[in-house]
Amino acid sequence: MAKYSFNDDYSEGVHPKLLSAIVATNASQQIAYGNDNFTSEACNRIRAKIGCNADVGVWFVPSGTSANAISIGSCLRPHESVIAASSGHIVVRETGAIEATGHKIIQVPPENGKLTVASIQRALDENWHFPHMARPRLVYISNATEIGTVYSKRELKDIKALCVERDLLLFLDGARIGHAMASSKNDCTWHDIFDLTDMFWIGGTKNGSLLGEAIVIKDPKIAVDFGFHVKQHGCLLAKSWVMGAQFAAFFDPENNLFLHLAAHANEMAARLSTALVAAGHELVAETETNQVFAIVSLPVLEQLQQHFNFYIWERLKDAKQEKAVIRLVTSWATDADQVVKFAAVLEQSSRA
């Protein structure tokens, strides 16, 4: 029998309402390359949700790596660099996509998965010898972070203030922004995210869509030519309405589908986290969204692996025994019964 997967939040296909939205486009002819009615409706609904003007740019691309690489590359000159946490997705999970565009990433140690004003300031202090060093120009953060933690409004305000003071762009990777916005720890509105960043994107792939991420561009000087960058990177899809239809459904004002799906994932992660703590296992970080990082012994790990798939994030060794950090990720489609089964296997193996 196939093992149930907690590997990631994109192992399932697409939420039925989003699939229905795609199917509904099939009977009509549409203008290609994002000039269709469905994409227009999606853009309008996203602008309405975040409370911005109609001239704010919204662009759709098929993947998170393309969203990051195109966005960052579009607003930097060749000698400009990016400040990012050493755990950031663009640092460890995108095969050097940013560096391939010619831009250095200045890595700083994260604090609870996050950048802070102090860490950004240190990066600026250490990268000053111009023109012999690449000039820091953009700060990259993700919300939720790579360990599932969420930025508070105060934290974003403080980082934004420093960025304004030092003429830096603030870019937010929103691969799991739905999970961040649905988190009980979140105190930001959609308009706060828009107001406190220069560019951010809304991740659909990790929240139930077949594919697609929506990039929101505040600065009209960047937005005006953004389509050229999307095209040059091979991401201007002829049938862009496949993404537009899904995001129009995500942000249908008659329901709250985007956050509803994320909230389910968060709830399933919270149950897994509670079970791990109850069984005596330590969390690497408080579970705030849909990722759980926990330390388990190798015997427990081996028992869990007989029933479930998940990532071993890091192997540890202390004076008493070998342990491992495991990552469990839940999704819009996570089966609550499988969470109960995981808790039962965990409890039994932890007593052994």
Residue 320, pLDDT score: 73
Task: Compute the distance between CA of residue 85 and CA of residue 12 in angstroms, rounded to an integer.
Answer: 29
- Torsion angles phi and psi, residue 184, rounded to 5: -65, -15
Task: Compute the distance between CA of residue 280 and CA of residue 347 in angstroms, rounded to an integer.
Answer: 9
Where along the chain do its domains lie? Answer: 16-250, 257-351
User: Cis peptide leading into 131, omega within 30 of 0?
Assistant: yes
Q: Give SS3 for 298.
A: helix
For 262-321, write each residue's pLDDT tens digit: 999 999 999 999 999 999 999 999 999 999 999 999 999 999 999 999 999 999 977 677
Residue 318, pLDDT score: 74
Non-local (6+) Cβ contacts of 106 within 8 A are 81, 82, 83, 84, 123, 126, 127, 134, 136
Q: Where do we find the tokens 């950048």? A: 115
| CATH class belonging to 16-250 | alpha beta
Assign 3-state DSSP to the chain and report helix, strand, coil percentages, each to 5.
40, 20, 40
Give the DSSP H or E segment for 172. strand 169-173
Cα separations (Å) of 277 from 73, 113, 274, 281?
42, 20, 5, 5
Q: Where do we find the tokens 């697409």? A: 14
Task: Give the pLDDT of the chain (352 residues) as one tens digit per residue.
Answer: 689 999 999 999 999 999 999 999 998 999 999 999 999 999 999 999 999 999 999 999 999 999 999 999 999 999 999 999 999 999 999 999 999 999 999 999 999 999 999 999 999 999 999 999 999 999 999 999 999 999 999 999 999 999 999 999 999 999 999 999 999 999 999 999 999 999 999 999 999 999 999 999 999 989 999 999 999 999 999 999 999 999 999 999 999 999 999 999 999 999 999 999 999 999 999 999 999 999 999 999 999 999 999 999 999 977 677 899 999 999 999 999 999 999 999 999 988 6
In total, the chain counts a number of residues equal to 352
The CA-to-CA distance between both ends of the chain, in Å, stands at 24
Tell me the CATH architecture of domain 257-351: Alpha-Beta Complex (3.90)
Residue 321, pLDDT score: 79
Do the first three CATH levels of 16-250 and 257-351 match, i.e. the same topology? no
